[in-house]
Structure 1
Amino acid sequence: MAAFTLLGTAGNAEAQEIQLTGPLAGAPPAKHLRLYREGRFEIAPTISFTLLDEYRRTIFVGGRLQYNIKDWIGIGVWGAFGAGSIATDLTDQINEKAPRGSPLTATNVTPGNFADQTAKLKWIGAPQITLTPFRGKLAIFQKIFVDTDAYIHGGVAFVGVDERKECGGAGQLGCTDPNSFSLESRTALAPTFGLGLSFYINRFLSLGAEYRAFPFSWNRGGFDSRGAGNNSKFPDDKVNSEDRTFKFNQMITIAIGFHLPASPKINQ
């Protein structure tokens, strides 16, 4: 009862606005700030490396073209082609040790090198939006200070994929035929998103590191793994779109950015 009595008799809370005086009165949060992005085009050659691959690692060479409407938002496109595709150790082990003859025939049909049937990423093109919510300086040994910003990006990726061609269906080669282990091309659609850092070496040149994800379903090993049984989770002696499985594809990208005009705007 005493507590309720005190609450009931409490007066109204009031606050007093503090008027800033002196040389900082009316000053903006930052003066003479270099706007490295606003109103500038960025042309950035890139090299990318895929991560956590089961059967093949891909090295992409490409570039990014971007226009920054404001210092915190930009629109652009990134694209790259697979300059190198390297078989993983798992692929080599399967090729050397795993029995891959056909149990459906009287003879042991050898399909050849396993790497020939594993899928490949051929090219990627991605229109995207970039948001840059953080910026500051990075100190190296407390001696060298580099203007840095952190950004996130998102868009839609068009991905060129070479997968094992369909077999076992009507009018198609049987999946035990050695000629059925070749690849054919298709284009997959996937969301793409990630984050990155830009380090501004000088007023028109930057060095960037970026993480990108582009998840979609594809048949990476060229296996007949689905299509029959409960929930279609068992082999059906066919290779087709039902054998594609979801993969959270990822890559790391290194970029060298050239910014035009050569001199950034300066906030007064």
Structure 2
Amino acid sequence: MNDKFVSTIMKNSKLTLDLVHPIYNPKKGWAEDLWFYFSAFQKPIQEEFEITLYLVNDGSSHGIHVSEIDFLKSKIQKFIYLELPINQGKGAALREAMKNCQSEFIIYTDFDYPYILENAWDMLDKLKSRESDIVVGVRDEQYYDQLPMRRKIFSLSLKLMNYLFFPKLKVKDTQSGLKGFNQKGKSIFLKTQINAFLFDMEFLVLASKAHEVKTDWIYVQVREGVHFSSMKLKTIVTELFNFSKIWMTSSN
């Protein structure tokens, strides 16, 4: 058996991962930052995983230029760029990407990689064990301490509401921006309808009703230097409406 044939077999036997990042009106230098963190993420796993990076532009009005997309295409071997014509929300952007994801495993997080990379590797290890279909990032106290007050109050209140209204949820902290799943989990994600903040919660509520789907979790930590934006009152009101919508739908 010649070396070229062995090399081809090894290449074809790699596990596959789709890494999905939504993006909206990013700050200057975002493409270089994305490349930096993606490179660090893939380095220890590139011999085992064939990684496709999906970047979904959620109808940005500024901040994304052809030169930046070309830069990423030149750096990342398997890079797919998608665009929504108008801003619809993170949930809608992620669903657009998920329709195209064919890999065995899928992980989504923000394009600026707000969590330490060890969290994503731990998540991938759990998925790779094939004992879980969905793995959820759960935020610790250190995470909440870094949130602006209004966002912190809303996040903790939502967690309490999940205990009261959705006792069957295995993971009550539904809103961390790091989640992973296999194709079985993807099929559930594509059933979500909410475009904005609570699409994560809707996803996990749907998963809790699918008895054949196994959900697990890991603790996640914010990487140094990340700053979170505050929540507008209008957003909070909208998401309270979405919460009631999820609850009423799940009760039927």
Instruction: Report TM bin, short chain.
Output: under 0.3
Greater helix fraction, Structure 1 or Structure 2 = 2
Which structure is larger by alpha-carbon Rg, 1 or 2? 1
- Give me the TM-score of the superposition, normalised by structure 1: 0.19
